[in-house]
Amino acid sequence: MNVYTKEPDTPPLASVIWMHGLGADASDMSGLASQYPISTLPVRHVFMNAPVRPVTINGGMHMPAWYDIVGFELTDREDGEGIKESEKQINAVIQSQLETGMTEKQIILAGFSQGAAMALHTALNRPQAIGGVVSLSGYLPLASECQFHLPRETPFFIGYGRFDNVVLPDWTNYSCRFLESRGYHDLTIKDYPMEHSICQSEINDLDSWLKRLLGEKA
């Protein structure tokens, strides 16, 4: 697994593990993370690269993808084999962070689009707790198969675009309702006047959420 790590100048309070979207790479997320003005809260950013695989919806073209997508509907985005393979890789990176001395509660899983789907899926199926989950323009795949081991007090930041025609707002809202129905109550849900993207307002809101979360750990 190709992983790029950006260390803070002082011992980190947390490790934020980032997963990019379909066809992108770790540099997309590292560019986003560099915009966070968390100068007083040292964070280790860990940027993962998805494996390269053929993606059916793109004519079988090989590209970085956490799992295959075969069509435009939500049910076409539930490649169980690929999702579970990537879940194992993400858990291996979590384990590597724990081996550096981080605790489970100092691990935050974050992602955009397909990477957000993986952050949600991996967090909810882990037997051990983590500190928080960030989903940007994402959704929960394989919801009916989730084990929901994650403690109900785990904080989530869920942001999405009101005009997203790639990951439809209905999919994100369905995922939020699903989480609420399973007892997850610390959900920060924000929508923005954008398409399938990330905007400055979302970055600002995420920054505030991270500062609140990490400030509690300081």
Known catalytic residues are 113, 164, 196
**How do beta strands 61-64 and 187-192 pair?**
unpaired
Q: Count helices and strands (H / E) in the chain.
A: 5, 9
Hey, what are 186's tokens? Answer: 């610390």
Residue 40, C-beta contacts closer than 8 angstroms, at least 6 positions apart:
none
Task: Give CA angle at 60 (112, 116), nearest 5°.
Answer: 10
- Where residue 108 falls (left for φ over 0; alpha for ψ -120 to 50; beta otherwise) is beta
Residue 191, amino acid: D
- List helix spans (H) across the chain: 26-33, 80-98, 114-125, 169-181, 200-217
Hey, what are 198's tokens? Answer: 């990330």
